[in-house]
Amino acid sequence: MVDVVVLAKAYENFMTNGDLEVVVDWIPGMPNIHLRDLPSFIRTTNLNDPMFQFCTVENPKALKFSAVIINTFEELEKLVLDAMRERICCPIYTIGPFASFSQFESKGRLNFAVLTPNQFNEFAWGLANSQRHFIWVIRDNLVIGKSATIEKVFVEATKERGLILSWCNQMKVLSHHAIGGFLTHNGWKSTIEGICNGVPMLCWPFFADQQINCRYVCKEWGIGMEINPDVKREDVEALVRELWKERRVKR
């Protein structure tokens, strides 16, 4: 029990003492990234983290594969792909983006991973205060510990410009000419769909690979802006307005 408490304290310090801003300059093909940009299961302080354990077991097996197939394309990640090819003996095939030729109905959703009630409320009022039209897909388990409940005053404030759904075909929505931006957690599937449809992104990464995807979207490819992890409605409002302004200028 003491070890768990110590580990929890170490993780809390690690997340708040500035260490996450340390530049990581030793990963081939990925210059100028910060510790905060690495996937959550890589920068974990918990050696028993399931995803960390999975990687330590499965990654060495990749060296014995006859080939590696990746849902990406050469122009998007050339530096990383070149670095991988220098270190992996088997061929690497980039056969993506799947989204550009997929014929099946996507089950993707225009939402995040999971939110606290406060985060949910801040996003809601950030969207409302931006005075922009929006589609928001809210699944049943979006909010931690309870079902997502929209305040009546929010519904009233956005009834002329907000569409709230429980599901949508994300690819079809993003391909519509009226879409000016995509508020996303930066899962790879959603990131690729945003890129394929030329839709700029507001990024709020949650876990797994989403942090590094966000880094590339915002810093390397210049097609998105990041929302502070400690989300505030004022920031959401400002970024939605900025994204829409930039979109209109480019059009």
pTM of the predicted structure, to 2 decimals = 0.85
Same structural domain, 76 and 141: no
Same structural domain, 187 and 75: no
At 28-73, the pLDDT tens digits run 999 889 988 998 888 887 888 888 888 888 888 877 889 999 999 9
Tell me how far apart the alpha carbons of residues 28 and 186 are, in angstroms, rounded to a whole number.
23
- Decide if pLDDT at 1 tops 60: no
CB-neighbour burial class of residue 158 (10 A; exposed 0-12, middle 13-18, buried 19+) = buried
> Using omega within 30 degrees of 0 as the cis cutoff, is the peptide bond preceding 28 cis?
no
Same structural domain, 142 and 73: no
Which residue range forms the structural domain that includes residue 63? 2-100
Same structural domain, 186 and 84: no
* Count: domains in the chain: 2
